[in-house]
Amino acid sequence: MEIAKTPEIIYEDNHLLVVVKPRGIAVQKNETDSTDDLQSILKSYLKKKYDKPGNVFLGIVHRLDQPVGGVMVFAKTSKAASRLSDQIRQNIWKKCYLAVVDGIPKQKSGILEDYLVKNEATNEVFVSKKENPKAKFARLFYETLESKNGKSLLKITLETGRAHQIRVQLSSRGLPIVNDHKYNKNSKNISDIALWAYSLEIEHPVTKEKLVFSKEMPENIGI
């Protein structure tokens, strides 16, 4: 498990805090979990850096699964949080991931569309029929960057942001992500999941400037 007390800060101003989320750490504390979470660690960082009294605001506007690392944006004000959330609803954000999968896609690139349902009791997501009242539409675009030794490196662009979306959509097509212990039945390695939030394009919540943040996938989870 790769947990850093002080995550790498990519960008910071009065409204935004952009970091590289370490793999293996939850974004937000679970009521039953006593381990550190990313939000709490970053709040401590802000409190110390700016010598802030009392509670520090740090809004979560999107999430990454606990095993997944990569670029993540937090809001430092409630106004920024609201505006960033609106951008997500308006599909303004562009999120790209890198994933190493078991198998080679039949088509080098394509669009995957499904209806997904989450089982809250088991924290698992599965592909369902459109008619299921709990089903949510999911779409992503993928491109095969490299294939060797029965594995492939994919670049994935999300159009929707459903829970476990990339992991479930790929697994359902016989392309499970390497070391995904939840959706890859052949996963025996204790290493980290080979899924990385590579880049994120947003609109600054105040200046409206287009901002692009990126971080290369660590070599030890490459193909």
1 pLDDT exceeds 60? no
User: Residue 206 corresponds to which tokens in the numbers above?
Assistant: 């105040």
Portion of the chain with pLDDT greater than 70, in percent? 94
Distance of CA 150 to the CA centre of its chain: 25
What pLDDT score was predicted for residue 36? 86
pLDDT in tens, 179-205: 998 999 987 766 789 999 999 999 999
Write down the pTM of the prediction.
0.91
What pLDDT score was predicted for residue 220? 67
Find the range with the poorest average confidence among 8-12, 109-113, 161-165.
161-165
Whether the Cβ atoms of residue 103 and residue 151 lie closer than 8 Å to each other: yes
What pLDDT score was predicted for residue 4? 45
What pLDDT score was predicted for residue 223? 62
**pLDDT, averaged across the chain:** 92
pLDDT in tens, 74-107: 999 999 999 999 999 999 999 999 999 999 999 9
Domain ranges of the chain: 9-221
152 pLDDT exceeds 60? yes
The domain made up of 9-221 has a fold known as Pseudouridine synthase (3.30.2350)
Cα torsion angle, 50, 54, 60, 66, sign: positive
Sequence-separated (6 or more) residues with CB below 8 Å from residue 132? 115, 117
219: confidence class by pLDDT, cuts 50, 70, 90: confident
**Mean pLDDT for the stretch of residues 167-186:** 95
What pLDDT score was predicted for residue 222? 57
pLDDT in tens, 21-54: 999 899 998 766 667 899 999 999 999 999 988 8
